Homo-oligomer: A and B are copies of this chain.
Amino acid sequence: MTKLSAGQWLAAVTVLAICIGTVPIQANEGLERLMEDPRYWVFPGGNYQNWRYSELKQINNRNARKLQAAWTFSTGVLRGHEGGPLVLPASETGLPHDTLYIHAAFPNNVFAINLDNLEIVWEYAPIQDYDETVPVMCCDTVNRGLGYGEGKIILQQADTTLVALSAKDGAVVWSVKNGDSKLGQTNTNAPHVMKDKVITGMSGAEFGVRCWINAYNLSDGELVWRAYSTGPDSEMLFDPEHTTELGQPVGKDSSLKSWKGDQWKIGGGSVWGWFPYDKERNALYYGTGNPSTWNPVVRPGDNKWSMSIISRDVDTGMAHWVYQMTPHDEWDYDGVNEMILVDMKIKGEDTKALVHFDRNGFGYTLDRTNGALLVAEKFDPAVNWATHVDMKTGRPQVVAKYSPGHQGEDVNTTNICPAALGTKDQQPAAYSPRTGLFYVPTNHVCMNYEPVSGGEYVAGQPYVNAVLSMFPAGRVSPGPEYGNSENNNNLGNFIAWDASKGKIVWSIPERFSVWSGALATAGDVVFYGTLGGYLKVIDAKSGKLLWKFKNPSGIIGNVNTWESGGRQYVGVLSGVGGWAGIGMAAGLINDTDGLGAVGAYKGLSSYTRLGGVLSVFSLPTH
């Protein structure tokens, strides 16, 4: 095995890494200053660490009961509205007022709203081909929001067009295509601006797409680097010697060796989610999705680097380290959920940690500097597919009776917890430095899973080959210790998590999955939305419900906060949908034999209907 130096590897990848060094690397200090100013919300996760935390405390645990709707805005689009608003000051936009930017589900309209008078300053209404794009969107027509940098609002359209819009007037500054929806490639993630780059992923694992992550120049949209989730080291931007797994070099062809034949070419590993940036290390962190077909029998091996956390250099894309949470996935436990960066004490030691709540039901705490595994504990006691994670090998210890691969093709493996949509999915958690706790919206859902034989890969066609049904975890694991103290039908919990110990501090049962992103604030309150439509405020310490409000539609958006004119506002999109709400979003709610999530969430029809409304709340002025 020929060993290459880091420098040689860098040279080897410059074919893909088109522009390295051609543009002066900028720190984008303006963006960092804006993130530190709690009056604005400029990065999807609030700050580069993905805390979804605000220092604003006008709204707090003593007055939150007085909250009221301040204003509302319908996007004019129905179906699932994920993501949340951005808020920018006049100094960034050239507009004479604070401006709020909000996006819609497909076809991904973007609105700039004048926060002085609530008028629409501009709208960007992309023309996208519904028939070409929507059928390759696996899990509703969601879009997870906007990025911002240097006067540009960045939108990743579903049809793989990445577009930069003038924050002032909505004019298209640049536009690039980063995929081809005819091949099953599509996007849902919010673009993330880091320094002078725009980071965006590529999805399509359910269509046999070999997925990747991109970095584009913020200034002109030129592709800087692209790193695939599977394949040769040069295309993954892996350095066999310097890219490590649990402290050891991954070695040559670490991905290729983990697949049968050429299967890595249709190997999935979707990239979407909420990516943090570690300025000190110039690193971004993200997770990869499932290794394409949901029938594990036909794809032996660990299927690297699907289902993995990866740390990369923002400027070159080169991977620092990787950790695969679910080798050889048999359950669709994508690793795409957000990473949260917190410096904390673990077993008495100051640790630069990365915290991640995985679809597979384990809450992971890693050393983000080297990928060392520190904590891996179940964040829902109902999780049963693995007994635990071996802390030396990092491998989950799979229970054979819950292993569809072990049970075999065309066999229905029953009562697996969690279901394919995971103990948590896209709904991002929040972290409060005041309590040291993570506030995690979760699913409490189990499944039966039958891998289906046959069904070859055809480009642009679904490549799933499994039949699923989902149901409340209480049917499998009844009792309060499994987080379903209220009844056996709850499909979600909202939990507080101690990431240093891997322990649930408190847990609030919810009738449905909590599919909304959380917000924590210096007012010691935590916000989240429910699929039934309630925005709730919780005391950050006790978990006590302080206030709730019934929004127009079910909430799968993220709660953001800002200040304008001296008042603190909290905003959230309602618009039921997403994977949990796909039955309602796609009009299948009465179709119990439909997609896996349809049956479990049928009860949603008693609570809400489709919508697409931004609701904004504040304390009364009188």
Contacts of A503 in B (CB 8 A): none
Q: Give min CB distance, A125 to chain B, whole Å.
A: 10
Considering only CB atoms, which chain B residue lies closest to A111 in the complex?
B609
Copy number in this complex? Answer: 2
Q: Give min CB distance, A105 to chain B, whole Å.
A: 13
Asked, given contacts A65-B622, A620-B66, whether A550 binds B610 with beta carbons under 8 Å apart, the answer is no
Q: How far is the CA of A612 from the CA of B75 in the complex (A)?
A: 11
In this complex, the interface size class of chain A, counting residues with CB under 8 Å from chain B, is: 20 to 34
Interchain CB contact under 8 A, A609 and B75: yes
From residue 121 to 177 of chain A, which have CB atoms closer than 8 A to chain B?
A: 123
Q: Give min CB distance, A109 to chain B, whole Å.
A: 8
Interchain CB contact under 8 A, A72 and B615: yes
Asked, given contacts A552-B552, A620-B620, whether A609 binds B68 with beta carbons under 8 Å apart, the answer is no
Interchain CB contact under 8 A, A574 and B120: no
Considering only CB atoms, which chain B residue lies closest to A585 in the complex?
B76
When each residue 373-401 of chain A gets 1 if its CB lies under 8 Å from chain B and 0 otherwise, what string results? 00000000000000000000000000000
Asked, given contacts A66-B620, A613-B552, A620-B66, whether A120 binds B74 with beta carbons under 8 Å apart, the answer is no
Q: Give min CB distance, A436 to chain B, whole Å.
A: 31
> Is A16 an interface position by the 8 A CB rule?
no
When each residue 597-620 of chain A gets 1 if its CB lies under 8 Å from chain B and 0 otherwise, what string results? 000000001111111110100001
Contacts of A608 in B (CB 8 A): 73-74, 120
Contacts of A574 in B (CB 8 A): 74
Q: How far is the CA of A606 from the CA of B112 in the complex (A)?
A: 10
Interchain CB contact under 8 A, A552 and B73: yes
Q: How far is the CA of A120 from the CA of B609 in the complex (A)?
A: 9
Considering only CB atoms, which chain B residue lies closest to A613 in the complex?
B552
Partner of A76, one of B65, B78, B550: B78
Q: Give min CB distance, A141 to chain B, whole Å.
A: 15
Considering only CB atoms, which chain B residue lies closest to A73 in the complex?
B552
Interchain CB contact under 8 A, A613 and B613: yes
> Is A467 an interface position by the 8 A CB rule?
no
Interchain CB contact under 8 A, A606 and B68: no
> Is A349 an interface position by the 8 A CB rule?
no
Interchain CB contact under 8 A, B120 and A76: no
Interchain CB contact under 8 A, A72 and B550: yes
Interchain CB contact under 8 A, A552 and B72: yes
Considering only CB atoms, which chain B residue lies closest to A79 in the complex?
B76
Asked, given contacts A66-B622, A68-B68, whether A609 binds B550 with beta carbons under 8 Å apart, the answer is no
Q: How far is the CA of A72 from the CA of B71 in the complex (A)?
A: 12
> Is A262 an interface position by the 8 A CB rule?
no
Contacts of A73 in B (CB 8 A): 550, 552, 608-609
From residue 55 to 114 of chain A, which have CB atoms closer than 8 A to chain B?
A: 65-66, 68-69, 71-76, 78, 111
> Is A553 an interface position by the 8 A CB rule?
yes
Q: Give min CB distance, A544 to chain B, whole Å.
A: 16
Interface centre among A74, A550, A610, A611 (most CB of B within 10 A): A74
> Is A119 an interface position by the 8 A CB rule?
yes
> Is A505 an interface position by the 8 A CB rule?
no
Interchain CB contact under 8 A, A72 and B75: no
Asked, given contacts A620-B68, A620-B620, whether A609 binds B74 with beta carbons under 8 Å apart, the answer is yes
Interchain CB contact under 8 A, A71 and B550: yes
> Is A551 an interface position by the 8 A CB rule?
yes
Asked, given contacts A120-B605, A607-B119, whether A613 binds B549 with beta carbons under 8 Å apart, the answer is no
Contacts of A118 in B (CB 8 A): 550
From residue 166 to 200 of chain A, which have CB atoms closer than 8 A to chain B?
A: none
Contacts of A71 in B (CB 8 A): 549-550
From residue 4 to 22 of chain A, which have CB atoms closer than 8 A to chain B?
A: none
Contacts of A605 in B (CB 8 A): 120, 123
Q: How far is the CA of A466 from the CA of B612 in the complex (A)?
A: 38
Q: Give min CB distance, A205 to chain B, whole Å.
A: 30
Contacts of A76 in B (CB 8 A): 78, 553, 609-611
Asked, given contacts A66-B622, A69-B549, A620-B620, whether A613 binds B74 with beta carbons under 8 Å apart, the answer is yes
Contacts of A66 in B (CB 8 A): 620, 622
Q: How far is the CA of A144 from the CA of B346 in the complex (A)?
A: 63
When each residue 550-583 of chain A gets 1 if its CB lies under 8 Å from chain B and 0 otherwise, what string results? 1111000000000000000000001000000000
Asked, given contacts A78-B76, A552-B73, A613-B74, whether A120 binds B68 with beta carbons under 8 Å apart, the answer is no
Considering only CB atoms, which chain B residue lies closest to A63 in the complex?
B622
Q: Give min CB distance, A572 to chain B, whole Å.
A: 12
Contacts of A72 in B (CB 8 A): 69, 72, 550-552, 613, 615
Contacts of A74 in B (CB 8 A): 552-553, 574, 608-611, 613
Q: How far is the CA of A542 from the CA of B610 in the complex (A)?
A: 40
Contacts of A552 in B (CB 8 A): 72-74, 552, 613
Contacts of A611 in B (CB 8 A): 74, 76, 611-613
Q: Give min CB distance, A27 to chain B, whole Å.
A: 37
With A73-B552, A74-B553, A74-B613 already in contact, 15 other A-B pairs whose C-beta atoms are closer than 8 Å: A66-B620, A68-B68, A68-B620, A71-B550, A72-B552, A72-B615, A73-B609, A74-B574, A74-B609, A76-B78, A120-B607, A120-B609, A123-B605, A611-B611, A611-B612
Across the A-B interface, the 4 shortest Cβ-Cβ residue pairs:
A74-B611, A76-B609, A69-B69, A74-B552
A-B contacts, 16 of them at CB < 8 A, read: A66-B622, A68-B620, A69-B72, A72-B72, A72-B551, A73-B552, A74-B609, A74-B610, A74-B613, A76-B609, A76-B611, A120-B605, A120-B609, A123-B605, A611-B611, A611-B612
